[in-house]
Structure 1
């Protein structure tokens, strides 16, 4: 049941430092006297780390205008949202396998139900915020470049087949985060008259977005694309 559970904060982008890198959220354990052995320090956990990318696009002005208009979108994948399923999955996760009397954290059944309802409310609020994003909020919407088919969307964001489709066609299993124009960035060489360049920056997690860039190259033959991985150090 919990395989379709998606946390309300799962879509939150990394916090930038200096405009390029996500903040280091690893917290050191409380200080104490003496040298702390390495084995006692917390080890990184959770999903794959974020990666920062630059995508350079350049070509004739008319083709660049068409590209910019066609790839701008809300920047989200329109997965279906079932608030009741979210509440049920959260209750199942909270109650765990400790029997009907107590949940995973020693909460009562009623406490687990309250937690599930609160989680549902948070998920509904997040979904409402995402659906209210303007149509052009994201200047490089991967769903506009390579739309996710309806039968894949119907599976849900966490379904293995849906994630496999995204990995195959996008190179990543989630929509990129913090997609933005990077003004002042250049093509690195002089362009012909009537040509211009645009650089997009975005974060991804767990993969390489080469497949969707290859799709853009096929769909926009008058434009040149160059994807580069940027250091987060």
Structure 2
């Protein structure tokens, strides 16, 4: 039976153990960047980090638990960016001003690297992982829905969730495209992605039926 991706075998308590876990996670990022999602195996992670498979298995029952941890960290950073932006003071800004501020907060998270694309690919191709990360994705969608509500959207919860999922899908497509483009083309893709996202947000806020 495959162990649940959301669990860990052992939570590190000592600094040395925490360093080992971090080394495993950082090594997995390196593998994703240099060799892609298909290269993620416990053996390859052990090879690139110098951490023995036995030590890895003390903390992660399988590679899925490692990938889930990485993806969870990235999503939680994005949720944190939304929460930093979503203050009463910032909600007094116009929607355009708030969106610009939110974009700056999310840019600090740094989504869009080659390894992010490969990690997302690994998640999407594994049904167990897709199911496991859904609660964290829902939390991220809820952050955007909250913003839309604060700016007056009267869409149903179902329609807003679908919109939020679509907007984040557009964002993912944008950075998946950018990593294969020249710097000039990538800059245009960023601008077009942001323009489309803002258009969709305005559509919901301005009460246009979905």
Same fold at TM > 0.5? no
Higher share in strand: 1
Q: Which has the higher contact order (CA 8 A, sep 6+)?
A: 1
**TM-score, normalised on structure 1?**
0.21
Higher share in helix: 2
**TM-score, normalised on structure 2?**
0.23
* Higher Cα radius of gyration: 1
